[in-house]
Amino acid sequence: GVGKTRLAQALFDVRIGAHPLPSSFAVYTNLSDNPDPQPTGMASDLIANSMRAVLIVDNCPPDLHRRLSELSCGEASTISVLTIEYDVRDDQPEGTEVATLDTSSPELIEKLIRRRFSQLSEVDARSIAEASGGNARIAIALAETVGRSETIAGLSNDELN
Which residue from 98, 47, 95 is spatially nearest to 71, judged by alpha carbons? 47
Distance, in Å, from the CA atom of 60 to the CA atom of 98, rounded to the nearest integer, reads 13
pLDDT digits (tens, 9 = 90+) for 143-155: 998 876 666 665 5
Residues 6+ apart with CB under 8 A from 143: 113, 116, 117, 120, 125, 128
Confidence (pLDDT) at 77:
95
Rg of the chain taking only CA atoms, in angstroms: 20
Confidence (pLDDT) at 153:
60
Confidence (pLDDT) at 94:
66
Confidence (pLDDT) at 84:
86
Confidence (pLDDT) at 134:
82
Q: At what angle do helices 136-144 and 106-116 cross, to 10 degrees?
A: 40
What single-letter DSSP state applies at residue 132? Answer: T
- Stretch (H or E) spanning 131: helix 122-131
Confidence (pLDDT) at 113:
92
| pLDDT tens for the chain, residues 1 to 161 | 567 788 889 899 999 888 999 999 999 999 999 999 999 999 999 999 999 999 999 998 888 988 999 999 999 999 999 988 756 666 666 666 766 666 778 898 899 999 999 989 898 899 898 888 888 888 888 899 887 666 666 555 555 55
Question: Whole-structure pTM over 0.85, yes or no?
Answer: no
Confidence (pLDDT) at 132:
85
Confidence (pLDDT) at 89:
61
Residues 6+ apart with CB under 8 A from 115: none
